[in-house]
Copies of this chain bind each other. A is one copy, B any other.
Amino acid sequence: MERLQQKIIEEGKVLSNEVLKVDAFLNHQIDPVLMKEMGQEFARLFAEDGITKILTIESSGIAPSVMAGLEMGVPVVFARKRQSLTLTEGLLTADVYSFTKQQSNRIAVSNAFLNKEDRVLIIDDFLANGQAALGLLNIAEQAGVHVAGIGIVIEKSFQEGRKLLEEKNVRVESLARVQSLENGQVTFVEEARA
């Protein structure tokens, strides 16, 4: 998605060979127009898949997911990272290891909002080592839903997330695929136009 690539070039900050900071439009400040365009793009990519629900994770997955949900006419469910006082029964959980924080966090979704008949699109803001997406996939499997695919805003293609997900035979669509952050420069994976 060209507008997203532009935005990454213009407003992203390369903090290291591994870390791209996009706090200016995705992870802290949010550009609602860009979110809408991303929602439309996810809807286009998964138009033939009969999606009935979007599953994401708080917090930065919520904005693109809600826009995709609006476009596709389906509800969004976000997995929680923190314990909720009112969300205690019928929880589907998965443990997600963060390599950067070097700790494991439990994420949770109420089984009330995932039904066996659902055809689910999983959306997240970043795909790096794939641990968050694998956790969401795990929860979807527990719920017995069909996962139509995973939509990612920014993929760091030099990390192993995509490979791990594809080994699970899941379709992965990323709106921007970062090839490298070396020398403080963002380069993207060259792709044939869809």
> What is the interface of chain A, defined by CB distance below 8 A to chain B?
15, 19, 21, 23-25, 27-33, 35-36, 58-59, 62-63, 65-67, 69-70, 73-78, 80-82, 84-87, 100-101, 109-110, 112-113
Contacts and interface: CB of A to CB of B under 8 A. Distances in A.
Given A35-B66, A62-B62, A70-B35, A86 B30 contact: no
Given A19-B86, A86-B23, A80 B32 contact: no
B66 A28 contact: no
Given A15-B86, A23-B87, A36-B70, A29 B62 contact: no
17 contacts: A19-B86, A21-B86, A23-B87, A23-B113, A25-B75, A28-B84, A28-B109, A30-B66, A30-B77, A30-B78, A32-B66, A58-B59, A62-B62, A62-B66, A63-B63, A63-B76, A66-B66
A30 B63 contact: no
Q: Which of A35, A58, A66 has the most CB of B within 10 A?
A: A66
A110 B117 CA distance: 42
Contacts of A101: 85
A65 B63 CA distance: 9
3 interchain residue pairs of minimum CB distance: A58-B59, A32-B70, A32-B69
Given A25-B75, A32-B66, 17 more contacts: A23-B113, A24-B112, A24-B113, A27-B84, A28-B80, A30-B62, A30-B69, A30-B75, A30-B77, A33-B70, A35-B66, A59-B78, A62-B66, A63-B63, A63-B76, A66-B66, A82-B82
Nearest to A101: B85
A104 B75 CA distance: 32
A34 B185 CA distance: 41
